[in-house]
């Protein structure tokens, strides 16, 4: 069993999700399923930049950057001898519990404990973090638990001082009053870690505050006076964290309780490991708690049921497998799809009974009969950053910086028609994005398609911003947005985008997708089952005059078989981000040259990198080309879905 010296605030956070995680966090024999690039994640989330901005807003402090915990503790202890002092990353310990406080400000006998989070806060919406019926809102509870743990440790370590807890958050109701503030906090790699370089003079040009400091003493007191669930025990807060500290050191074992949090377990392999393979905390925990064998894990779990809020209830009742659910559990009235296709309960039931491939050819034909050719497929890439790049913008406002646009004609011809990317540092892409999109869609009167709600939400948000800004010349852009979207209240424009994700949910089901209609799940399923897609894309036709591409330099075959003859995921066929760089340039960048953009989060991080780093022109160009290729494949994937449904849905329906 792994042993640990301290219960830290990061390990306390894990423990509040699932106490048994403490038994796995420091054991190198266990597999940590979080494989995303931490550097890209840091860029996308903006947490390091917010932390650096917070230090500028509480200036004059000393950073504790010693390597070992003992050195950090000693340095903090020495600084606290001063009457008045500000410490960044102050380190304190009490009875096996250690915290590094983001900002600790001591003024005489008063200590302000300031926890900095990159989460947005709106005074009008979030208030004092309590729900209307009482109790702390679930969305805020993890953050306040974090502060409560820190306040407990700091107060215990400094018993002669009064400790006041605060949360410092991105203020959604504030607006930047200076240009380029977001670019002033440049993220860079430091080995496996991340550092932020602040541009000279930034402290003197912060402008209006973008972070707000919220007192949370009453909320912390409420938490500390309550209880925490630790395994099967519900204990008073101080006793609970004492038990967690002992569990973290390996002195006691907290038995796991299988529950909804297990769906996000970080210590999990894809399959039950065999001897000699990396161990899996998830499978070990469930095996101990439930007495399961390897065979039990082969059945689909309730954890994986699509779009259900009742999973926690069923798990608490001891129903862990989909086969244990009934039609009544799902509220299923009629198992047969109606004229509108599948209901949510019907789709869930298909997943429970492991239904084979199903396609509603008649329903799809009805939908398609309402479409106007040529068909337009659009996909957006967006970012939301806590420190705005331009004056006048608020934290976490949506930035629409890219779109791709494919067109399909009635005779089946497909081409990548238009695209847009604006990623130059300091340039607000909003209006140029909208004008380019308007020009692209004004070129014909065909039906416009999106996949899921993202594009509608983005355009609605940009509409509200244009109306708020009230600038001359924006009226035509507002009218365009209203034409292709539906607004709150159900008002839909005459050319309202058709949601292909909703269409897929109602008229298509494939095993292996876990009921999801995510494009990343539907595309591989269609590739496996559509003769049209196999016949068309097993040839290197994409990127030729027959099916033009705006970005791919050589013709591409998207249907590529693996060793078992099944098609590979097309997103895995995209070239690496820096494939076009020389060997010398790739050697300088190291392992990141082997990766590509696979999802929207990576695209967001790539955009942030272009904004916040000083990059060589070749590096910037490589990132931009990767963004263009990725977004192009998103709209091509939408085209492929419609092609499969249009050209061989009847055959799939018959074979299913």
Q: What is the pLDDT of residue 594?
A: 44
Q: Residue 481: is its pLDDT beyond 50? A: yes
Q: Residue 3: is its pLDDT beyond 70? A: no
Report d(CA 570, CA 32) in Å as an integer: 26
pLDDT in tens, 49-58: 999 999 999 9
Report d(CA 375, CA 447) in Å as an integer: 5
Q: What is the pLDDT of residue 644?
A: 94
Q: Residue 460: is its pLDDT beyond 60? A: yes
Compute CA distances 58 → 106, 289, 370, whole Å: 12, 48, 59
Which of 152-156, 244-248, 357-361, 582-586 is least confident? 582-586
Closest CA to 20 of 224, 297, 313, 289: 289
pLDDT in tens, 21-48: 888 876 666 665 443 444 555 555 678 8
Q: What is the pLDDT of residue 192?
A: 64
Share above pLDDT 70 across residues of the chain, in percent, rounded to a whole number: 91
Looking at per-residue confidence, does 596 or 310 come out higher? 310
**Tokens linked to 645:** 């449904």
Q: Residue 603: is its pLDDT beyond 90? A: no
**What mean pLDDT is predicted for residues 616-627?**
87
Share above pLDDT 90 across residues of the chain, in percent, rounded to a whole number: 70
> What would the 3-class secondary structure string for 622-656 be?
HHHHHHHHHHHHHHHHHHHHHHHHHHHHHHHHHHC
Q: What is the pLDDT of residue 436?
A: 98
Compute CA distances 574 → 82, 606, 626, whole Å: 57, 16, 8
Q: What is the pLDDT of residue 104?
A: 98
Mean pLDDT (the chain, rounded): 89
**What mean pLDDT is predicted for residues 490-511?**
94
Closest CA to 418 of 431, 404, 432: 404
Q: Is 386 helix (H, G, I), strand (E, B) or coil?
A: coil
Q: What is the pLDDT of residue 2?
A: 37
Which of 4-8, 119-123, 384-388 is least confident? 4-8
Compute CA distances 105 → 83, 170, 465, 602, whole Å: 10, 20, 38, 36
Helix, strand, coil percentages, rounded to 5, for the chain: 40, 20, 40
Q: What is the pLDDT of residue 615?
A: 77
Q: What is the pLDDT of residue 648?
A: 78
Looking at per-residue confidence, does 499 or 10 come out higher? 499
Q: How many CB atoms lie within 10 A of CB 364?
A: 23
Q: What is the pLDDT of residue 1?
A: 32
Report d(CA 511, CA 358) in Å as an integer: 9
Q: What is the pLDDT of residue 447?
A: 98
**What mean pLDDT is predicted for residues 178-203?**
85
Closest CA to 455 of 308, 600, 597: 600
Q: What is the pLDDT of residue 590?
A: 45
Q: What is the pLDDT of residue 42?
A: 55
Residue 374: asked if its preceding bond is cis (omega within 30°), the reply is: yes
Q: Residue 381: is its pLDDT beyond 60? A: yes
Q: What is the pLDDT of residue 434?
A: 98
- Contact predicate 551/415, CB 8 Å: no
Q: What is the pLDDT of residue 472?
A: 87
- Contact predicate 301/321, CB 8 Å: yes
Q: What is the pLDDT of residue 449?
A: 98
Confidence of residue 600 (pLDDT cuts 50, 70, 90): low
Looking at per-residue confidence, does 443 or 592 come out higher? 443
pTM: 0.90
**What mean pLDDT is predicted for residues 464-476?**
92
pLDDT in tens, 384-411: 999 999 999 999 999 999 999 999 999 9
Q: What is the pLDDT of residue 23?
A: 82
Q: How many CB atoms lie within 10 A of CB 443?
A: 14
DSSP letters spanning 484-507: H-B-TTS-B-TTPPEEHHHHHHHH
| Cα angle 304, 310, 314; round to 5 | 80
Confidence of residue 577 (pLDDT cuts 50, 70, 90): low
Q: Residue 596: is its pLDDT beyond 70? A: no
Q: Residue 329: is its pLDDT beyond 70? A: yes
Computed from CA positions of residues 612, 613, 617, 619, in that sequence, does the dihedral angle turn out positive or negative? Answer: negative
> What would the 3-class secondary structure string for 171-220 be?
ECCCCCCCCCCHHHEEEEEECCEEEEEECCCHHHHCCCCCEEEEECHHHH
Write down how long the chain is.
Answer: 656
**What mean pLDDT is predicted for residues 351-365?**
92
Q: Residue 639: is its pLDDT beyond 80? A: yes
Q: What is the pLDDT of residue 36?
A: 42
**Tokens linked to 84:** 């008045």
* E strand or H helix that includes residue 401: strand 398-408
pLDDT in tens, 266-293: 888 888 988 888 888 899 999 999 999 9
**What mean pLDDT is predicted for residues 585-613?**
64
**What mean pLDDT is predicted for residues 350-354?**
93
């Amino acid at each position: 069993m792994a042993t640990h010296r301290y219960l830290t605030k990061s390990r306390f956070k894990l423990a509040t999700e699932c106490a048994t995680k403490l038994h796995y966090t420091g054991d190198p024999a266990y597999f940590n399923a979080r494989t995303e690039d931490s550097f890209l994640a840091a860029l996308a989330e903006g947490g390091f930049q917010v932390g650096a901005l917070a230090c500028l807003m509480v200036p004059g402090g000393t950073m504790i950057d010693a390597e070992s915990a003992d050195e950090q503790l000693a340095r903090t202890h020495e600084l606290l001898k001063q009457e008045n002092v500000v410490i960044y990353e102050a380190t304190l310990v009490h009875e096996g519990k250690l915290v590094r406080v983001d900002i600790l400000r001591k003024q005489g006998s008063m200590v302000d404990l300031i926890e900095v989070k990159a989460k947005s806060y709106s005074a009008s919406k979030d208030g004092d973090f309590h729900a209307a019926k009482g109790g702390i809102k679930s969305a805020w509870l993890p953050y306040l638990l974090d502060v409560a743990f820190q306040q407990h440790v700091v107060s215990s370590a400094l018993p002669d001082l009064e400790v006041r807890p605060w949360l410092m958050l991105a203020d959604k109701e504030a607006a930047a009053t200076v240009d380029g503030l977001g670019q002033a906090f440049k993220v860079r790699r430091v080995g496996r870690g991340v550092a932020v370089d602040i541009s000279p003079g930034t402290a003197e040009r912060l402008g209006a505050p973008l972070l707000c400091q919220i007192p949370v003493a009453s909320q912390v007191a409420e938490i500390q006076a309550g209880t925490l669930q630790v395994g099967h025990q519900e204990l008073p807060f101080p006793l609970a964290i004492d038990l967690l500290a002992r569990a973290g050191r390996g002195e006691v074992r907290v038995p796991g309780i299988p529950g909804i949090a297990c769906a996000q377990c970080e210590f999990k392999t894809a399959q039950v490991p065999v001897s000699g393979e990396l161990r899996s905390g998830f499978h070990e925990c469930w095996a101990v708690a439930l007495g399961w064998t390897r065979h039990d894990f082969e059945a689909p779990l309730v954890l994986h049921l699509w779009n259900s809020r009742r999973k926690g209830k069923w798990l608490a009742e001891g129903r862990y497998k989909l086969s244990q659910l009934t039609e009544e559990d799902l509220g299923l009235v009629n198992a047969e799809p109606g004229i509108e296709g599948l209901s949510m309960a019907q789709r869930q039931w298909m997943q429970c009974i492991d239904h084979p491939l199903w396609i509603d050819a008649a329903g799809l034909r009805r939908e398609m009969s309402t479409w106007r050719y040529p068909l337009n497929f659009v996909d957006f890439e967006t970012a939301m950053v806590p420190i705005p790049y331009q004056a006048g913008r608020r934290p976490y406002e949506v930035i629409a910086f890219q779109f791709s646009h494919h067109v399909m004609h009635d005779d089946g011809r497909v081409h990548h028609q238009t695209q847009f990317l604006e990623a130059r540092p300091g340039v607000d892409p909003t209006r140029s994005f909208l004008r380019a999109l308007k020009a692209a869609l004004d070129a014909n009167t065909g039906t416009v398609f999106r996949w899921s709600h993202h594009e509608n939400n983005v355009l609605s948000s940009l509409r509200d911003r244009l109306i708020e800004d009230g600038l001359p010349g924006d009226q035509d852009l507002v009218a365009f947005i209203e034409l292709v979207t539906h607004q709150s209240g159900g008002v839909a424009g005459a050319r309202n985008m058709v949601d292909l994700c909703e269409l897929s949910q109602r008229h298509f089901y494939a095993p292996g997708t876990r009921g999801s209609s995510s494009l990343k799940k539907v595309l591989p399923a269609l590739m496996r089952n559509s003769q049209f897609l196999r016949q068309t894309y097993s040839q290197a036709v994409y990127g030729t005059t027959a099916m033009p591409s705006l970005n791919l330099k050589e013709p591409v075959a998207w249907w590529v078989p693996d060793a078992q003859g099944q098609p590979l995921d097309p997103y895995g066929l995209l070239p690496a981000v820096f494939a076009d760089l020389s060997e010398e340039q790739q050697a300088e960048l190291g392992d990141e040259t082997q990766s590509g953009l696979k999802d929207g989060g990576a695209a967001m991080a790539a955009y942030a990198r272009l904004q916040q780093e000083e990059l060589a022109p070749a590096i910037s160009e490589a990132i931009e080309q990767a963004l263009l290729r990725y977004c192009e494949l998103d709209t091509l994937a939408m085209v492929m879905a419609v092609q499969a449904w249009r050209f061989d849905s009847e055959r799939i329906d018959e074979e299913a």
